[in-house]
Structure 1
Amino acid sequence: MTLASQPASHGAATVTDPVRVMVVDDSVVIRGLIGRWIDADPALAVVATHRNGQLAVDDIERSNPDVVVLDIEMPVMDGMTALPLMLAKRRDLVVVMASTLTRRNAEISLKALSLGAQEYVPKPESSANVTTSVDFRRDLIDKVKSLGMRKRDRAAGIRRPMRAETAAGAAAAPAAARAATRPTGHTATFTLRPYASVKPRVLAIGSSTGGPQALQALFRDIGSSLREVPVLVTQHMPPTFTAILAEHISKAAMCPAAEATDGVLLKPGHIYVAPGGKHMVVEKTAAGVVARLNEDPPVNFCRPAVDPLFDSVAKAYGSATLAIVLTGMGSDGANGARAIAASGGSIIAQDEKSSVVWGMPGAAAHTGQCSDVLALSEIGPKITRILGGRR
Structure 2
Amino acid sequence: MRLLHTADLHLGRGGGRSLDALDALLTAAEREDVDALTVGGDCFDAATAADDLRPQLRERFTDNGFDVLVVPGNRDAAVFDGNVEFGPDFRALTTDPVEVATVGDGEVVAVPSCERLGEDRFFDLRERAHDEAVLLLHCTLDAGFGTGGTGDEAEPTHCPVQTETLGELGYEFVLAGHVHSELYQRKLPNGGLFIYPGSPVSHSWAETGRRHAVVVDTDDANVQPVALDTFYRDRFATTVAPGDAYDAIDRVEGWVDGQETDRSELEVRVDGFTELDESTFDERLHAAAGPATVVNETRGVAAVLDHPIYADFADRLDDFDLDEFDRVGDPEAVEERLVETLAELLAAGEVTHA
Give the TM-score normalised by structure 2: 0.30
Q: Which is greater in Rg?
A: 2
Q: Which has the higher strand share?
A: 2
Give the TM-score normalised by structure 1: 0.28
Q: Which has the higher helix share?
A: 1
